[in-house]
Amino acid sequence: MKNSIKITIADPCHEDWTQMTPQEKGRHCDSCDKLVIDFSQTTDEQLYKRVQRGGKICGRFKPEQLDREITLSRKRKNPFLDYAATLLIPAAIFSTQNINASNVSKSPQIETSSYKSLNISSLNRTQKNVVAESNSETLLTIKGTVSDSHGPLSGAIVTVKGTDRFVKTDENGNYKIDIRKGDTLIFDHIAYNRREVIIEKCQKYNVVLEQHMIMGEIGIMGRVSINK
């Protein structure tokens, strides 16, 4: 028989997780004087069993863990299987998500056909140099990888702040874009916290995005029926 619950957070907490005091099962929030349990890495089964223990729960969740049906199928107990299970060492099974590659936008092309005279005997013009009235401003080709705690992120958007120039990361999380020294790059991906980085010199910049989390006291909806 399927047993189902749905977890909701009517009033999300906006306290800073990183400023809370670390504890064994989560972090202590001084503002509301509660233990906030970190459920962001738990499986549906672990989450279901914790909720079944009852009591008020304040937790930290991924958005995809909320407002959906969480089911747990229970079979009739077999005494022999229960005994055999005590003799076995549980094996951890890790699942990986197949990431659909997003189309990669080409880096914007810089028009270099028009230059002004600089009173210099010779000037080596390349597509990475844009010449101003009396000096040249060099473009930096920035490349790197955008990832999260599990690996590369495809489809992340890398934008030059204040412009309409952007690229998307490929299936391996790689990006490449031309900027000017001092430009700010914005790294963005759905369900992740945005990051802004001012680029000065380095030509390779790897970014790790943190997944957007939701915290708050949970409400439970659903039908629970347990066979004995």
What mean pLDDT do residues 199-205 have?
Answer: 82
How high is the pLDDT of residue 139? Answer: 83
SS3 64: helix
Whether 87 and 141 share a structural domain:
no
Per-residue model confidence as pLDDT tens digits over 81-137: 555 555 554 443 333 344 444 444 455 554 544 445 444 444 455 444 444 433 346
In a domain? residue 168: yes
Per-residue model confidence as pLDDT tens digits over 119-128: 444 445 544 4
pLDDT at residue 181 tops 50: yes
Whether 202 and 151 share a structural domain:
yes
Whether 134 and 88 share a structural domain:
no
Amino acid residing at 169: T
How high is the pLDDT of residue 212? Answer: 73
Within 13 Å of residue 174, how many CA atoms lie on the same side as its CB? Answer: 5
In a domain? residue 137: yes
Q: Residue 38 — very low, low, confident or very high, per pLDDT cuts 50/70/90? A: confident
Whether 71 and 12 share a structural domain:
yes
Q: For residues 92 and 90, what is the distance between their CA atoms, to the nearest angstrom? A: 6
Per-residue model confidence as pLDDT tens digits over 124-174: 554 444 444 333 467 889 999 999 888 999 999 999 999 989 999 999 999
In a domain? residue 86: yes
Largest CA distance in the chain: 93
Average pLDDT over the chain reads 73
How high is the pLDDT of residue 215? Answer: 67
Q: Taking Cα atoms as reference points, which of 131, 183, 129, 135 lies closest to residue 158?
A: 183
What tokens does 58 get? 């304040």
In a domain? residue 110: no
Whether 66 and 138 share a structural domain:
no
Beta-carbon contacts of 226 under 8 Å, excluding residues fewer than 6 positions away, are 3, 74
Q: For residues 205 and 187, what is the distance between their CA atoms, to the nearest angstrom? A: 11
Query: Residue 172 is part of a domain; what is its CATH number?
Result: 2.60.40.1120
The pair phi, psi for residue 47, each rounded to 5°, is -65, -45
In a domain? residue 46: yes
Whether 14 and 51 share a structural domain:
yes
Number of helical H runs and strand E runs in the chain? 2, 17
Whether 87 and 144 share a structural domain:
no
Q: For residues 185 and 163, what is the distance between their CA atoms, to the nearest angstrom? A: 10
Bridging pattern class, strands 34-38 and 58-61: parallel
What mean pLDDT do residues 34-58 have?
Answer: 84
In a domain? residue 90: yes
Could you tell me the residue range of the domain that residue 162 belongs to?
129-208
Task: Yes or no: say if 110 and 178 are a contact pair by the CB < 8 Å rule.
Answer: yes
In a domain? residue 199: yes
Q: Taking Cα atoms as reference points, which of 220, 228, 227, 225 lies closest to residue 66?
A: 220
SS3 85: helix
In a domain? residue 123: no
The pair phi, psi for residue 15, each rounded to 5°, is -70, 155
Whether 181 and 217 share a structural domain:
no
Whether 217 and 189 share a structural domain:
no
Whether 197 and 149 share a structural domain:
yes
Q: Taking Cα atoms as reference points, which of 12, 75, 22, 71 lies closest to residue 219?
A: 12
Q: Which is more confidently placed, 85 or 62?
A: 62
Q: Which is more confidently placed, 223 or 4?
A: 4
DSSP 97-115: PPPPPPPPPPPPPPP-S--
- Three-state secondary structure readout of 126-151: CCCEEECCCCEEEEEEEEEEEEECCE
Whether 81 and 164 share a structural domain:
no
Domain count, the chain: 2
Whether 47 and 74 share a structural domain:
yes
